[in-house]
């Protein structure tokens, strides 16, 4: 039986505490790769969530197979009506200044910039950036061979070895749904900081431990994503993590992602597949997602940091 508290040999990556409270144990319910159970612990000091045991390099292909959804580059054909709705939504988003990340990036829209998507997966994000910022030079990095194939298909530079890139090279480095997967996030952030130019921006989007969805759905909250999510951050400990790594926090954003709450409902109901009316539900419950943003309890947070020198 697993104890209520555990004293680990390794210390918390943020506060260096080595006392952790046991929360629960569970299987890989997403990829369903093995029948092995993993334990979830919370740091008693800063509330950082961590998994035990952590997956190692030799197990990467087991837990990140070719059919892992973030590697899927397939695009569904969008009807003219849905395309019109999307364009209308973008117009209102620009007018109301809803997309705070885009507001930050738009300051540099007409200037040549170098943009790295670290953990680029399917390449969808880079394809989106290519459309919005045609003057920028785009690069992708991912340890998966499937990600490399995806970037080759859309003609975007793939970096095999980040160490080979000169220091002070990138203007922006983006990590969307990445930092929670890193076994050694401090080492990675240190390397990425070296590759950023002076005043360069790092953009980190990750699950929010302090979300209402996590409180309600508990172990069925899909953002635990056992065992791929090695860590789960809160806005407070993520900001401390970045400032300790010599970044100045310039923006904290709580993102509307009601799909996470809906998928957590499906998991609670033990549904193997999301219902056909999932897209309808995301629109129906959108006001709840917006409300969660305002009260800082959304399932996703984004932090933008500037390289300090």
pLDDT digits (tens, 9 = 90+) for 219-240: 999 999 999 999 999 999 999 9
Is residue 71 within 8 Å of 121, Cβ to Cβ?
yes
Enter the DSSP assignment of 23.
E
Q: What share of the chain has pLDDT > 90, as a percent?
A: 63
For the chain, the farthest-separated pair of C-alpha atoms sits apart, in whole angstroms, at 59
Whether the bond between 43 and the residue before it is cis, its omega within 30 degrees of 0, is: no
Which domains are delineated in the chain?
5-307 (3.40.50.150)
- pTM of this structure: 0.89
Is residue 284 within 8 Å of 261, Cβ to Cβ?
no
pLDDT digits (tens, 9 = 90+) for 7-64: 556 899 999 999 999 999 999 998 888 899 999 999 999 999 999 999 988 888 888 8
Q: Give the SS3 label for residue 46.
A: coil
Whole-number Å distance between alpha carbons of 291 and 49: 25
Angstrom CA distances, 52 to 26, 224, 254, stand at 11, 13, 28
pLDDT digits (tens, 9 = 90+) for 238-268: 999 999 999 999 999 998 788 899 999 999 9
DSSP string, 253-299: EEEP-HHHHHHHHHHHTT-SS--TTHHHHHHHTHHHHHHHHHTT--S
């Amino acid at each position: 039986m697993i104890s209520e508290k555990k004293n680990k040999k390794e210390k918390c990556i943020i506060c260096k505490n080595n006392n952790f409270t046991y929360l629960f144990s569970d299987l890989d319910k997403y990829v369903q790769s093995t029948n092995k159970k993993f334990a979830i612990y919370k740091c008693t000091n800063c509330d950082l969530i961590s998994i035990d045991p952590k997956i190692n390099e030799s197990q990467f292909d087991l837990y990140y197979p070719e059919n892992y959804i973030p590697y899927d580059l397939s695009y569904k054909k969008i009807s003219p009506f849905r395309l019109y709705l999307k364009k209308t939504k973008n117009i209102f988003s620009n007018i109301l200044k809803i997309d705070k990340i885009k507001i930050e990036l738009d300051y540099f829209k007409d200037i040549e910039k170098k943009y790295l998507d670290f953990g680029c997966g399917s390449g969808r994000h880079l394809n989106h950036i290519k459309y919005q910022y045609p003057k920028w030079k785009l690069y992708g990095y991912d340890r998966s061979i499937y990600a490399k194939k995806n970037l080759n298909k859309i003609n975007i530079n793939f970096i095999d070895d980040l160490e080979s890139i000169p220091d002070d090279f990138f203007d922006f480095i983006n990590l969307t749904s990445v930092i929670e997967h890193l076994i050694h996030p401090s080492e990675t952030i240190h390397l990425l900081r070296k590759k950023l130019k002076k005043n360069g921006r790092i953009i980190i989007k990750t699950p929010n431990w302090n979300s209402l969805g996590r409180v309600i759905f508990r172990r069925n909250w899909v953002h635990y994503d056992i065992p791929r999510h090695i860590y789960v951050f809160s806005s407070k400990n993520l900001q401390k993590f970045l400032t300790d790594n010599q970044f100045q926090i310039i923006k904290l954003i709580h993102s509307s992602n009601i799909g996470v709450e809906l998928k957590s409902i499906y998991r609670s109901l033990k549904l193997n597949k999301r219902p056909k009316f999932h897209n309808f539900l995301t629109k129906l419950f959108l006001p709840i997602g917006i409300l969660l943003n305002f009260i800082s309890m959304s399932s996703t947070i984004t932090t933008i940091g500037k390289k300090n020198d």
